[in-house]
Amino acid sequence: MKHKIVYKDLGLIGFKEAWDYQKDLFNQILEIKKNNRELPVCEQRVNYDYLLFCEHPHVYTLGKSGSESNLLINHKLLKEKGAEFYKIDRGGDITYHGPGQIVGYPVIDLENYDIGLKNYIHNLEEVIIQTLKKYSIKAGRFKGAAGVWLDPEDNKKARKICAIGVKSSRFVTMHGFAFNVNTNLDYYNYINPCGFIDKGVTSLRKELNREVEIPEVKEYLKKSFEKVFGVELDQ
């Protein structure tokens, strides 16, 4: 029997609101996990895992190992661009979230799937790679950098289509991936994406030269997530 994960689509939601919601789920999973270890099996509570999808208004987030120097505009210009900025508790450097980008936040206990953090990130990348195949786009991994890239073997052509940054504590995860679908790529001009100064970014719309239906991409992502992780999404 496949493990079930609760799926929720939060729609367009402010970054801080979604972050707080994630933290509540994350802390809940950790608390139940801790308490269950001290209880007999018959008294243990069910501990749910979650997959959240959403879009954010324009926002830049900086991971705990990142450098604020990779934000190339000051806070006054940020406000003029209608964007927010947060220093957050995931790995990685700076990235952008905005309308037309599908953000996925799996809040799950990796011990349920018998995988470590490295394999988990590899699986997240595989979800995106398999989804891109539905659009006849070949994608892969860039050595030494998390995320999903097009033409990763060519330093001059390599461009990122999906950023990945996660947090893990006692094998419970939060944060996740940011997949550029119809994203306004101009907002990447104001940062060194993920700390890179010589690599491009792209979107599904740019690669296909057409607008892409977000609900369609979400369905492909969900199916790929179920297949790669061997789970069933409870919707």
In the predicted model, what is the mean pLDDT of residues 107-136?
A: 96
Active-site choice (42, 54, 162, 194): 194
Q: Is pLDDT of 193 > 90?
A: no
| The pLDDT of residue 197 | 59
**In the predicted structure, residue 196 carries a pLDDT above the cut 70:** no
Mean pLDDT of 21-33: 96
pLDDT band at residue 195, thresholds of 50, 70 and 90?
low
In the predicted model, what is the mean pLDDT of residues 26-35? Answer: 95
The dihedral over CA atoms of 162, 127, 221, 10, expressed in degrees to the nearest 10, equals: -60
pLDDT exceeds 90 at position 229: yes
Q: What is the pLDDT of residue 36?
A: 86
Q: What is the CATH number of the domain that holds 11?
A: 3.30.930.10
Q: What is the structure's pLDDT at 117?
A: 95
pLDDT at 58: 97
- Write out the residue range of the structural domain in which residue 185 sits: 3-234
Is residue 51 a contact partner of residue 124, using CB atoms and an 8 Å limit? no
Work out the burial of residue 170: count CB atoms within 10 Å of its CB; fewer than 13 is exposed, 13-18 middle, 19 or more buried: exposed
Q: How many domains does the chain have?
A: 1
Pick from 159, 142, 168: nearest CA to 64: 168
Cα(111)–Cα(186) distance, integer angstroms: 40
For residues 17 and 7, what is the distance between their CA atoms, to the nearest angstrom?
A: 18
73: nearest Cα among 85, 64, 65? 85
SS (H, E, C) the chain: CCEEEEEEEEEECCHHHHHHHHHHHHHHHHHHHHHHCCCCHHHCCCCCEEEEEEECCCEEEECCCCCHHHECCCHHHHHHCCCEEEECCCCCCEEEECCCEEEEEEECEHHHCCCCHHHHHHHHHHHHHHHHHCCCCCCEEECCEEEEEECCCCCCCCEEEEEEEEEEECCEEEEEEEEECCCCHHHHHHECHHHCCCCEECCHHHHHCCCCCHHHHHHHHHHHHHHHHCEEEEC
Catalytic annotation present for 194: yes
pLDDT in tens, 169-186: 999 999 999 999 999 999
Which pLDDT tens digit goes with each residue over 74-118?
889 999 999 999 999 998 889 999 999 999 999 999 999 999 999
The predicted model scores a pTM of 0.94
Q: Which residue's entry shows tokens 């994630």?
A: 22
